[in-house]
Amino acid sequence: MTDRAAAYVRQLLAAHDYFRTGLADLRRVIAAPPEKTEEAELRSWASDLRIQCLYFCNGLHMHHTLEDQRMFPAVLVEDPELGPIVERLEADHRKVAEIIDAIESRLGELSSDPSGVREELNRMADALLEHLAYEEEQLTPVLARMTGPI
Contacts with Fe ion by CB under 5 A lie at: 67, 135
Whole-number minimum distance, CB 64 to Fe ion, in Å? Answer: 5
- Of 30 and 135, the one with the shorter C-beta distance to Fe ion is 135
- Of 64 and 106, the one with the shorter C-beta distance to Fe ion is 64
The C-alpha atoms of residue 107 and residue 104 are separated, in whole angstroms, by: 5
Question: Among 59, 34, 65, 39, which residue's Cα sits nearest to residue 49?
Answer: 34
Whole-number minimum distance, CB 32 to Fe ion, in Å? Answer: 29
**Around Cβ 60, how many Cβ atoms within 10 Å?**
22
Decide: 90 and 30 in contact? Cβ < 8 Å.
no
Which residues have C-beta within 8 Å of that of residue 73, sequence separation ≥ 6? none
Whole-number minimum distance, CB 150 to Fe ion, in Å? Answer: 12
- Of 120 and 135, the one with the shorter C-beta distance to Fe ion is 135
**Around Cβ 30, how many Cβ atoms within 10 Å?**
22
Whole-number minimum distance, CB 97 to Fe ion, in Å? Answer: 11
- Of 48 and 130, the one with the shorter C-beta distance to Fe ion is 130
